[in-house]
Structure 1
Amino acid sequence: MKLQCQEDEMNNAMPKSQSTVLLLGQIPMSTGGTNAMLTPGSPVSSNHKDDVALLIATSTAVLSTIQVLRRIIRENAYGRVGRELQHLSLTVASFERVLYSFIKEEIICDPSMDYRDKQALKDIIPLIPREKRHAILAGGVASLLRHVAMSMEDTREVLTRLTENYDPFWENRWSVTPFVVAAVVFYITRRRLVHGQSFRSIISTFVPSLRKVEAGVVALVCYDYAWRLSYRFSMLRQLKVHHSRVLMTLRLFLLCQHVLDRTRLNRSKSHRLLIDAPIEADINDNLKSASVLLIERVPLPSEIYDRSHEHFGLTAFKAGSAVMLASSATARWLLGDSLFPHLGSYLAAILVPYYGIRFKKASRYVTRHLMDNPDVTTIRTGWQLFGESFLACKMALLQAPKIAVRHQIYVNVNGVAAGRYQRDPTDIGVRIFSSRSMDHVKQGSWPENEKCPDKLKQIGLPYARPVLIYVHGGGFFGRFLAKDLLTLSNWAVALGAVIVYIDYGLAPEMQYPNSLNQCFTVYKWVLDGGLGFVPSSVAFFGESAGGNLAAALTVKCILEKVRIPNGIVLVYPALNMHLSPSPSRFLHQSDPILPRAILELALNSYYPSHGASAQYKDNIHDPKVSPGLADDTILAQFPPTSLMVGDLDPLLDDSIDFHTRLTSLRVSSTLKVLPDLTHGFLIYGDMVPAAQNAIDDMCHSIYAIFKRQLA
């Protein structure tokens, strides 16, 4: 009550200026913007007002935490809680300064402005330009700001509970130790002076019997567990946990500055990109800074991800992914390189229960193994346990709806169907999905015993013949076939389209440009009536490495004057196939599916001929390898493009930059950033509701392409 009265008096005494409102944490959101604290899976709009609202929400959280700390630090300045509050105050104050510098140098960017009377964060926030889009607030920095706001809000809640439930008087009382020491001294003195006993006889009275020793050990163990249990739910531990989270975000913000420094030179251009152009230092360790070398080769602490708000399904998926890879790596260590290709998958399956119980050990082992010795065969075997095993495919087919067509055929390198069996190693695998038979598709009819849904009539069915070209992901060297079988079966029913799944050759056995040429061959086969009809409309879909191939396939169609698709949907695509840093690549380099080691392995496996380090920055600009670096003349011819990516994805900035370039060229482009989703959320849609919502949204985007073409 006393604190509340003091707050009311402060509110009445201070004028209600913008600065005061900012200090008290009551900043209203800008009209037209959305709340920065979004629910998982809800898309973040690319509107610049939302970007500014997120920055204001983060600043509000920092200033509000400072305000609460100022109120309670005086009454809780002693004891262990007081010391922790002092350390927390220094961390939050440092964050206020870092955020001030970030807004001043990266957002306002006005060297002519006089900042002598604007030295506080609350004074500089009203100067943020709100009429323009800040690309820097839409990428990896945005996910970090959202994490900062969440950590600050949780810390403020703990501090509020501290003011209500914590009594510092209990910590200020005397400890029991002085009383025990005084009692022992009094007992020894009395025995020595009054009773005349020797020191040996006095000390012998303190020697316990064996039974007393056993009872004492049991009592100490019980006391230790009781103390641990009480500490786990104590206010001091809650303060330490939230302080460590705030401190982690502060460190990440400071280390992220070296990434922003590289792109700061581009601010004079019409648009700013988050990923800098490749330079030799990206692959030459002798030219890298000490901090970059340390961060790239040392695992980031587990506290980098705040799991207090993480969905249980995502936590389970991360643990399961580590278990699969750890089982595969251990199987390879036991069998050796000669036997692993033949027996590795069986032994890895046997080891899964062992690491399933010790999933934390599996996570540490996988992290260290991927950094020290990443290997395509080991990772592919681990992924196959989850994505391609007989059991996984059977489970997916049991969950999938029954459709008329779901079979595999092969197309040879000349673009001619080769039947249902691979007759030559160069034949390209193609899987066909359709809710109606191919005869009905050719005739433009619907099965007699069924009725064509009204929703499908809006895209021209049953007369139209839409085709979706699906290019799977997997780092160019793997795939998750089981999940693709389930997803594409559902989409075949929802869209009524014929879905062509290209099973291109995997790296390192098949490298650039062979994989891309296979996709191009299948696409021309479809356009030439290989399915038995000429498609009325075509859409491309690609995820991860498949997103790279889908965008590169579009580039190849433009360069070779082949009919481009009516629209493309790219989900967490790898559009810049180089190792230049960006905020998202730095902040999320410990992604469960695409850590930095696998990102490097994918580049070296798919495109190893980028040359020596001196030629790296030149050779990597091939637009069919890195579509995100294509010339404006090529990107200006792109069809309507939809981009979707999670805000915890290391490839987030790839999508941000690609969307920025397309919109600057006036190409129709939409971008959806999904909070709290990592790379590869297509894989765990059945475990995380937000991921399943995103999968349904992808289907709607494809539907919109077919509907737009009909209009």
Structure 2
Amino acid sequence: MLSSEAQTAINKMLIDREKNGHYALTEPLENQRKEWEDSAKEVRFPADLICQEQTIAEVTGERISLKAMPQRAKDQLILHFHGGGLNQGSAITHRKLGGLISRHTGIPVFIHNYSLAPEHPFPAALVDTVKVYQTLLKTYSPEMMVFGGDSSGASLLCSTLLYLKAQQIDLPKTVYLLSPQLDNCFTGETMLTNQKADHRVSLADLANCVEDYRGQKPVEDPLISPLYGDVTNFPPTFIQVGSSELLLSDATRFEQRLNQADVAVELDICPDMWHVFQSSGDKIPEAKEALERLAHFVNRKMR
């Protein structure tokens, strides 16, 4: 049974959807970006966390960590790939989620501001990310690093792993994917069956973002749709997704691909939860519990 907090959040999403319709298709992109960042800036940053601006390989971002960081985490780092369709979102919009993840895992989180489409289509975001990771490897052992990503950020994350693997660059120790968008051909069954259940994301919104991002690449290319890539030797992976999401079948099929490649994988399907619900982990019990499960997986693999 849903908590009252979760039900209240769903009711608000229904009202917002009815009021705004396909906001992402009708509102100018610059307005969407500004409104999201302005809203994120209004959220009071928790007193137990530190947020510092940081630039790595000429890519800006924010490093978030606990003030009382566990000793074990001082040489560890999570590189979090923010969502937002790869055409919006930033370290600012994902500061809260990054803080929640850092609090639960104990590990510092760096959220990088990769180049956004359509001004910078593929491969700009991938190039930025590879530069950041290679620079971080001068300070951190790959055994001490985690890749994490939400939504389209999870797509960029997996594309980055495919690229690094092809270039024979050491991969991070472990990975988590939250509500991952991995098949930009949109062939998953739940793209149809969850259309009414998903109150946060629409197929039209997803398709619009992919067209902004992919440049000259076909959507079936693994660097655009990582579901179709060779996932052999991927790091141990934790996948968390809501049962009401359009992207549910992206998560379940990616788990199957990883299993077939003998990659350690854990799939956590959260009943009645919505797209990137974990960002409400400070208010909604189900989201807090989900973050605890994520942290348990990550910390177990990072021992």
Q: Same fold (TM over 0.5)?
A: yes
Task: Name the counterpart of 1:659.
Answer: 255
Listed one character per residue, the Cα deviations across residues 179-213 of structure 1 (whole Å, up to 9, x for unaligned) are xxxxxxxxxxxxxxxxxxxxxxxxxxxxxxxxxxx
Contact residue 409 and residue 430 of structure 1 kept, 8 A? yes
Q: 2:208 aligns with which of 583, 601, 608?
A: 601
**CA, structure 1 residues 620+699, in 2 after alignment: closer, same or farther (shift >3 Å)?**
same
**CA, structure 1 residues 480+317, in 2 after alignment: closer, same or farther (shift >3 Å)?**
farther
Q: 2:79 aligns with which of 454, 461, 469?
A: 469
Task: Name the counterpart of 2:145.
Answer: 538
C-alpha distance in structure 1 between counterparts of 2:170 and 2:136, whole Å: 11
The aligned length equals 302
1:487 counterpart SS class: helix
1:566 aligns with 2:165: no
1:501 aligns with 2:111: yes
Q: 1:409 aligns with which of 32, 38, 54?
A: 54
C-alpha distance in structure 2 between counterparts of 1:594 and 1:539, whole Å: 27
Task: Name the counterpart of 2:7.
Answer: 311
Contact residue 142 and residue 171 of structure 2 kept, 8 A? no
C-alpha distance in structure 2 between counterparts of 1:475 and 1:685, whole Å: 22
C-alpha distance in structure 2 between counterparts of 1:319 and 1:658, whole Å: 32
2:28 counterpart SS class: helix
Contact residue 477 and residue 508 of structure 1 kept, 8 A? yes
Contact residue 96 and residue 279 of structure 2 kept, 8 A? no
Contact residue 467 and residue 535 of structure 1 kept, 8 A? no
C-alpha distance in structure 2 between counterparts of 1:433 and 1:673, whole Å: 27
Listed one character per residue, the Cα deviations across residues 40-83 of structure 1 (whole Å, up to 9, x for unaligned) are 49xxxxxxxxxxxxxxxxxxxxxxxxxxxxxxxxxxxxxxxxxx
Structure 2 residue identity aligned to 1:477:
N
Worse overlay, 691-700 or 637-646: 691-700
Listed one character per residue, the Cα deviations across residues 513-546 of structure 1 (whole Å, up to 9, x for unaligned) are 11011111101110012xxx55651111011011
The Cα of 1:375 is off from its aligned counterpart by 4.7
Task: Name the counterpart of 2:43.
Answer: 395
Listed one character per residue, the Cα deviations across residues 235-277 of structure 1 (whole Å, up to 9, x for unaligned) are xxxxxxxxxxxxxxxxxxxxxxxxxxxxxxxxxxxxxxxxxxx
Listed one character per residue, the Cα deviations across residues 454-473 of structure 1 (whole Å, up to 9, x for unaligned) are xx46xxx26x6111111100
Task: Name the counterpart of 1:489.
Answer: 99
C-alpha distance in structure 1 between counterparts of 2:194 and 2:105, whole Å: 34
The Cα of 1:432 is off from its aligned counterpart by 1.4
Task: Name the counterpart of 1:522.
Answer: 132
Contact residue 97 and residue 279 of structure 2 kept, 8 A? no
C-alpha distance in structure 2 between counterparts of 1:396 and 1:565, whole Å: 32
**CA, structure 1 residues 534+316, in 2 after alignment: closer, same or farther (shift >3 Å)?**
same
Contact residue 100 and residue 279 of structure 2 kept, 8 A? no
**CA, structure 1 residues 542+625, in 2 after alignment: closer, same or farther (shift >3 Å)?**
same
Task: Name the counterpart of 1:583.
Answer: 189
The Cα of 1:687 is off from its aligned counterpart by 4.8
C-alpha distance in structure 2 between counterparts of 1:685 and 1:662, whole Å: 28
Contact residue 647 and residue 674 of structure 1 kept, 8 A? yes
Task: Name the counterpart of 1:222.
Answer: none
Listed one character per residue, the Cα deviations across residues 110-129 of structure 1 (whole Å, up to 9, x for unaligned) are xxxxxxxxxxxxxxxxxxxx
1:512 aligns with 2:119: no
C-alpha distance in structure 1 between counterparts of 2:100 and 2:287, whole Å: 15
1:433 aligns with 2:64: yes
Structure 2 residue identity aligned to 1:662:
L
C-alpha distance in structure 1 between counterparts of 2:44 and 2:98, whole Å: 11
The Cα of 1:482 is off from its aligned counterpart by 5.4
2:209 counterpart SS class: helix
Task: Name the counterpart of 1:553.
Answer: 160
C-alpha distance in structure 1 between counterparts of 2:66 and 2:212, whole Å: 36
1:643 counterpart SS class: strand
Structure 2 residue identity aligned to 1:508:
P
C-alpha distance in structure 1 between counterparts of 2:7 and 2:77, whole Å: 35
Structure 2 residue identity aligned to 1:434:
S
Once the two structures are superposed, the pairs formed by residues 55-454 of structure 1 within 5 Å of their partners are 311-320=7-16, 322=17, 360=18, 362-363=19-20, 366-367=21-22, 374-375=25-26, 377-378=28-29, 381-382=31-32, 384-385=34-35, 387-389=36-38, 392-397=40-45, 400-403=46-49, 405-411=50-56, 415=57, 427-435=58-66
C-alpha distance in structure 2 between counterparts of 1:381 and 1:695, whole Å: 31
Contact residue 40 and residue 674 of structure 1 kept, 8 A? no
C-alpha distance in structure 2 between counterparts of 1:516 and 1:573, whole Å: 17
Structure 2 residue identity aligned to 1:430:
G
The Cα of 1:608 is off from its aligned counterpart by 3.6
Greater strand share, 1 or 2?
Answer: 2
**CA, structure 1 residues 687+432, in 2 after alignment: closer, same or farther (shift >3 Å)?**
closer
Worse overlay, 502-511 or 687-696: 687-696
The Cα of 1:433 is off from its aligned counterpart by 1.9
C-alpha distance in structure 1 between counterparts of 2:94 and 2:199, whole Å: 19
C-alpha distance in structure 1 between counterparts of 2:40 and 2:61, whole Å: 20
Once the two structures are superposed, the pairs formed by residues 678-693 of structure 1 within 5 Å of their partners are 678-693=274-289
Task: Name the counterpart of 2:297.
Answer: 701
Listed one character per residue, the Cα deviations across residues 147-183 of structure 1 (whole Å, up to 9, x for unaligned) are xxxxxxxxxxxxxxxxxxxxxxxxxxxxxxxxxxxxx
Structure 2 residue identity aligned to 1:667:
V
Task: Name the counterpart of 1:169.
Answer: none
Structure 1 residue identity aligned to 2:10:
L
Percent identical residues:
20
Task: Name the counterpart of 2:232.
Answer: 636
Contact residue 465 and residue 536 of structure 1 kept, 8 A? no
Listed one character per residue, the Cα deviations across residues 356-382 of structure 1 (whole Å, up to 9, x for unaligned) are xxxx4x15xx14x66xxx25725x634
1:682 counterpart SS class: helix
The Cα of 1:394 is off from its aligned counterpart by 3.8
Contact residue 567 and residue 640 of structure 1 kept, 8 A? yes
The Cα of 1:593 is off from its aligned counterpart by 2.5
The TM-score, its normalising length taken from structure 1, stands at 0.40
**CA, structure 1 residues 492+683, in 2 after alignment: closer, same or farther (shift >3 Å)?**
closer
Question: Greater relative contact order (Cα 8 A, min sep 6): structure 1 or 2?
Answer: 2
Unmatched tracts of structure 1, length 5 or more: 1-38, 42-309, 323-359, 416-426, 437-449, 611-618
**CA, structure 1 residues 514+311, in 2 after alignment: closer, same or farther (shift >3 Å)?**
same
Once the two structures are superposed, the pairs formed by residues 41-52 of structure 1 within 5 Å of their partners are none
**CA, structure 1 residues 535+563, in 2 after alignment: closer, same or farther (shift >3 Å)?**
closer
C-alpha distance in structure 1 between counterparts of 2:159 and 2:55, whole Å: 22
Structure 1 residue runs of 4 or more that deviate by more than 4 Å after TM superposition:
480-483, 533-536
Worse overlay, 499-508 or 478-487: 478-487
